[in-house]
Amino acid sequence: MRIVMDLQGAQSESRFRGIGRYSLALALTVARDARGHDIHLALNGAFPEAVKDIRTAFKGLIPQSNIHVWHVPLPVHACDTGNSTRCSHAEIVREATLASLKPDIVHVSSLFEGYGDNALTSIGRVFQIPTVVTMYDLIPMMNPEVYLNHDPVYAKAYAEKFSFLQRADAVLAISESSADEARRVGKFGSDKVFNISAGCDAVFSQLEIQHPARRLVRAKFGIEGEFFLYTGGADRRKNLNRLIDAYAALPVATRKIARLVMAGRMPASLVDDLNRVALERGLRADEIIFTGYVSDEELVALYNECRFFVFPSWHEGFGLPVLEAMACGAAVIAANASSIPEIATEPAMLFDPYDTAEMSERIRWMLEDDAAVAEARAFSEHRATAFSWERSATAFLDACESVHLRSLPRTDAGQALNIAMAALGRKSTQTLAVVAAADALDRSIAPEERMLMLDVTELAAHDRGTGIQRVTRAISNEWLRRPPHGYRIQLVRLDRESRRYVCANAYAGHLLGQDFGEDAALVCHAGDVFVGLDLVGHAVDLASDWFDYFHVAGVVINFVVYDILPV
């Protein structure tokens, strides 16, 4: 079975949050133990740096030619309603690209994307492709007064994504709580809902007491003495105002035991608001520390160093920070809400997230009772072992196999390009917009044969008959007449003015005495091969962006080294 994993959840702004961590970790684990299935990734070319990071992460797990990059006309962020036509064209391009990969199942790692950036998702806009979706939560749908009612543009964008969700052939819930939301709010039948749970990365583990990371993280963020920790976002459901209220309600002597550290990327405006709340509640400026962005290594050190971890959120899909803290051996207290009690199962660890007094009492208990902290740490160490990405990956593959057995209808992959072009023609009378989308299709859908590019930059410009050029000419001539099986040969040259590689069609025609047309733009796809036959070391500097494009596209880059005499 071919499973194509749309990994935009690890590319967009979500990559900095739990969704990104979840998406990447699950995909990596599935790739490590695929049970014989053919795993492919589909990535959004609008995020080239993330493409490179993901290619590096999957090196040795799947062939680089199994990582496909699609391109669409930009921008497509839904917060600008002026992008709506471009978005609808882009959705056709993306779906056509997925269909062309001949998937048995497409997995969408994060469907509710693309409001504020160039992520793009849809299901069934034009193409029928068996699709499963990771479902984290339906929090905005369940709390419209907080997330939807005040912003009609966002509400419309969310409603459209929700309509796509309902076209999915199955949802992969990350907890029993999110599975229940899929059934109650999403109206999915139980046979279409699979709870695959979650794990946490192996980096989240206990450190030795003398591990240097502990000292370094304290020095970097100016943390002295004991502290308790929060990490996990800053939007309203995270309940941080009540957390500050609960901390401020403690006796001054108790607060002196430990300060509150809030770790992770937060919008500056929200940090200002929280600081204002803290001052209004009588807290000193040094009683709360906002670290800003922290790396995984720094977060692990903070989890290990903290007296305890507190998580007051009133709605989560899973609550990954709770599990990460436990895996690091931290004592944990958390909200008794949504999915969190599935992780923190000990009643004494839980509090009502809407009851500031109860939250404050739990914090005081953890600050004043060393024995309780030790007991909570022991519980965390044991409980964390109940979750793993291996278990989630097994459940993921079980779900995909179950969906595949239904023999769902699908669009003919061989007709993907024709169907897409017809759909684009129906959707728009704007010629330039359709041309841009057609160009994106060309850059996204790979031909059946892979391309073997031969660099003839110097030869095409000046055939001096030197030894190197005789070799370049002979190999080019031979491969053009008798290409290796499964490849089509394309001579290419560096256009020095544009610093881009182009198809050297004019020189190919000169070499073979045939008409190959004019030199044209070069388009590459995953699995194509570049061979630097000519001696053009300067090209690497001149066209560094172009070689970066090769890398993002998944082109295999080779250079022939004739000698190293200058070295």
The C-alpha atoms of residue 304 and residue 311 are separated, in whole angstroms, by 16
The enclosing H or E element of 304 equals: helix 296-305
Spatial contact of 501 and 532, defined as CB atoms under 8 Å apart: no
pLDDT (0 to 100) of residue 503: 96
Which helix or strand (DSSP H or E) is residue 396 part of?
A: helix 389-404
> Who's near 531: CB < 8 A, 6+ residues apart?
452, 453, 454, 455, 558, 559, 560
> What is the DSSP track for 460-488?
HH-----HHHHHHHHHHHHHHHSPPTTEE
* C-beta contacts of 149-155 below 8 A and 24+ residues apart: 153/78, 153/79, 153/81, 154/79, 154/115
Q: Which residues of the chain carry a pLDDT beneath 50? A: none
Hey, do 2-199+391-404 and 212-387 end up sharing a CATH topology, with the first three levels equal? yes
Distance between CA atoms of 180 and 182, rounded to whole angstroms?
5
Beta bridge partners of 69: 43
Measuring CA to CA, how many Å separate 11 from each of 21, 119, 185? 10, 8, 28
> What pLDDT sits at residue 540?
67
HSE, CB side, 13 Å, CA atoms: give it for residue 7: 34
Q: What single letter denotes the amino acid at residue 56?
A: T
Question: What pLDDT shows up at residue 468?
Answer: 76
Q: How much is the pLDDT for 497?
A: 86
Helix pair angle (48-57, 544-553), 10° resolution? 50
| Pair of tokens at residue 344 | 């923190």
C-alpha distances out from residue 204 to 222, 253, 304, 384, Å: 22, 33, 9, 10
Helices (H) and strands (E) in the chain, counts: 24, 19
Cross-strand bridge partners of residue 407: none
Query: In degrees, to the nearest 5, what angle opens at C-alpha 142 toward C-alphas 139 and 148?
Result: 80
* 492: its two tokens: 């290419």
262-315: per-residue pLDDT in tens? 999 899 999 999 999 999 999 999 999 999 999 999 999 999 999 999 999 999
pLDDT tens digits along 77-134? 999 999 999 999 999 999 999 999 999 999 999 999 999 999 999 999 999 999 999 9
- Fold of the domain built from segment(s) 2-199+391-404: Rossmann fold (3.40.50)
Domain ranges in the chain? 2-199+391-404, 212-387, 447-559
What pLDDT, on a 0 to 100 scale, did the predictor assign at position 539?
A: 65
User: 361-377: string of b/e by CB count within 10 Å (b at 16+)?
Assistant: ebbbbbbeeeebbeebb
| Tokens found for residue 557 | 């880059």
- The CATH number for 447-559, chosen from 2.60.40, 3.40.50, 1.10.3300, 1.10.287, is 3.40.50
- pTM exceeds 0.85, yes or no: yes
Closest to 79 in 3D by CA, of 158, 174, 180: 158
- In CATH, which of 3.40.50.2000, 1.10.1670.40, 2.40.180.10, 3.30.365.10 is domain 212-387? 3.40.50.2000
